[in-house]
Amino acid sequence: MISTILTLVRKEITGFRKDRTAVMLTFLVPIVLIYIFGNVFGVNRSSSGPSGIPLAIVAPEGSPAINSVVAALAAEEAFSVRRTWTDEAGVQHPFTEERVRADIHDNRLRFALVFPDDALSDTRFGLRVRLLYNPRNDIETQTVMGLLQKNIYTAAPTFLFASLRKSAENAIGVEDTAKFYDNIADAVSTAFKIDREELRSAMKEDANPFAGTGAGGGAEDFMKRIVDIQQEQLTGKEVKNAAATRMVGGWAIMFLLFSVTGSSTSLFDEKKAGIFNRLLSMPVTRAQILWSKFTFNVLMGLAQLLFLFIAGKVLFGIDVTSNLAALVLVCVCAASACTAFGMLLAAVSKSTAAASGLGTFLILTMSAVGGAWFPVSFMPEFLQTVSKLTLVYWAQEGFIAALWAGSGIVEMLPILGVLLGMTAVLNTISLVLFRRGSMFS
């Protein structure tokens, strides 16, 4: 009885070991996804959350207080703080508000912090700053907002103390202000046993006198009332269902990849059935067979994407008609790139099972790395670089540009170019591999 069961178990193990697809799906796919998720949620990093999100700063030069805020933001791992942009000649220019507005509109930037000339005023107590942003990804935007507030509020005591003293000097004169501060220093020194001279010295400088004393930590709630962060959304304001509009592209491209991959691997079924043998005895070439498969899959992918977007309009109110031509163009390019991926999968695989296993692995990995599930900026910077090599990333960029930003076809040409370039490269590799491989022999 037991030996029979053990023999049958041995049979199962032997069969499993020989099924490379099953082994890969069992072990490799979870490991890769766990690694990616681990990086997103900071398991494997010194800090969790996003990293390297470009943040443009528009600020007047020479203000120590503003510089201290910018320095605090620059020290934040989430941000890649930029105060200048480089023109085609390689010359650097300080960001202006006009420039960052254009960059955000064109998706070269998603966040910019503008310190107006009156950010710190002798006649007004507190800080005024303006955040310009493109909330194309909700999770990323929420996180960035939180981090900006945290950093500005943390740095605020420094410049607010200077602002307060400046206001006092304007009101009652330098001498009386000095006396006032000395008296406060005496009282604080007596009450809290802090060195009097050290406190007085600190209060004379542009610094937070309570830093290091433990007396400044509770200032954040207070700061919220006196730091004025004005937010201005530059893109997507007119979008009807923002959440659905942001999500639909990523999910659509993932499902498209699964369907075209399945269709491309049907090449193996036709080979096995001897269909190619018959077709090639007719006036039909290998290239014609492959192009017919490619054309059909592009059309099928296009139909699937358009169906998904129409369903999105019916179910969630996503506006797919106001920029329809651009959306259809992105769908065509995305369907072409996904089909080329499916063809490559068939070219490098030796059976339907192998292609399906490899396809599942690559599609899930590309979807995760490419930003279909969570913001790319939440991954380490090297993974952010890798994500730009995936067609999921660029297809999503296209859908966001068409649906969220309402970009015109000309503005979208770089994205469409990348997708078509990927199509060309993948198809070329596939054709070479099909020529050398065993699909038609």
Length of the chain: 441
In the complex, the smallest distance separating the C-beta of residue 275 from other proteins, rounded to whole angstroms, is 5
Closest CA to 99 of 141, 69, 58: 58
In the complex, the smallest distance separating the C-beta of residue 359 from other proteins, rounded to whole angstroms, is 22
- CA angle, corner 162, sides to 160 and 167, nearest 5? 95
Determine phi and psi for 305, rounding to 5 degrees.
Answer: -65, -45
Of residues 242 and 279, the one with the C-beta less far from other proteins: 279
Pairing of strands 53-58, 79-82: parallel
Of residues 92 and 281, the one with the C-beta less far from other proteins: 281
In the complex, the smallest distance separating the C-beta of residue 431 from other proteins, rounded to whole angstroms, is 16
Of residues 2 and 282, the one with the C-beta less far from other proteins: 282
Q: DSSP per residue over 361-374, as a string? A: HHHHHHHHHHTSSS
Of residues 7 and 281, the one with the C-beta less far from other proteins: 281
In the complex, the smallest distance separating the C-beta of residue 352 from other proteins, rounded to whole angstroms, is 16
Q: Which residues of this protein are in contact with other proteins, per CB under 8 A?
A: 272-285, 440-441
Question: Burial level of 12, CB count in 10 A (0-12/13-18/19+)?
Answer: exposed
Residue 357 neighbours by CB under 8 Å, 6+ apart: 20, 21, 22, 24, 25
Of residues 108 and 436, the one with the C-beta less far from other proteins: 436
**Rounded Cα gap, residues 225 and 114, in angstroms:** 19
Indicate the SS3 state at residue 333: helix
Of residues 13 and 275, the one with the C-beta less far from other proteins: 275
Closest CA to 332 of 429, 416, 271: 416
113: β partners: 57, 131
In the complex, the smallest distance separating the C-beta of residue 439 from other proteins, rounded to whole angstroms, is 12
**Rounded Cα gap, residues 328 and 320, in angstroms:** 10
Q: Which helix (H) or strand (E) holds 158?
A: helix 138-172
Of residues 180 and 440, the one with the C-beta less far from other proteins: 440
Of residues 124 and 278, the one with the C-beta less far from other proteins: 278
In the complex, the smallest distance separating the C-beta of residue 292 from other proteins, rounded to whole angstroms, is 10
Of residues 292 and 428, the one with the C-beta less far from other proteins: 292
Q: Are 293 and 267 in contact (CB under 8 A)?
A: yes
Q: Are 78 and 148 in contact (CB under 8 A)?
A: no
Structure token digits, residue 85: 């942009």
Torsion angle, alpha carbons of 131, 135, 139, 140, to 10? -60
In the complex, the smallest distance separating the C-beta of residue 281 from other proteins, rounded to whole angstroms, is 4
| DSSP E strand boundaries for 29-150 | 53-58, 79-82, 84-86, 92-94, 111-114, 120-121, 124-133
Given CA atoms 152, 157, 158, 161 in this order, what sign does their dihedral have? positive
In the complex, the smallest distance separating the C-beta of residue 265 from other proteins, rounded to whole angstroms, is 16
In the complex, the smallest distance separating the C-beta of residue 435 from other proteins, rounded to whole angstroms, is 12
In the complex, the smallest distance separating the C-beta of residue 290 from other proteins, rounded to whole angstroms, is 15
Of residues 90 and 274, the one with the C-beta less far from other proteins: 274
Indicate the SS3 state at residue 439: coil
Of residues 288 and 321, the one with the C-beta less far from other proteins: 288
In the complex, the smallest distance separating the C-beta of residue 305 from other proteins, rounded to whole angstroms, is 25
In the complex, the smallest distance separating the C-beta of residue 286 from other proteins, rounded to whole angstroms, is 9
- CA angle, corner 259, sides to 255 and 260, nearest 5? 115
Of residues 323 and 352, the one with the C-beta less far from other proteins: 352
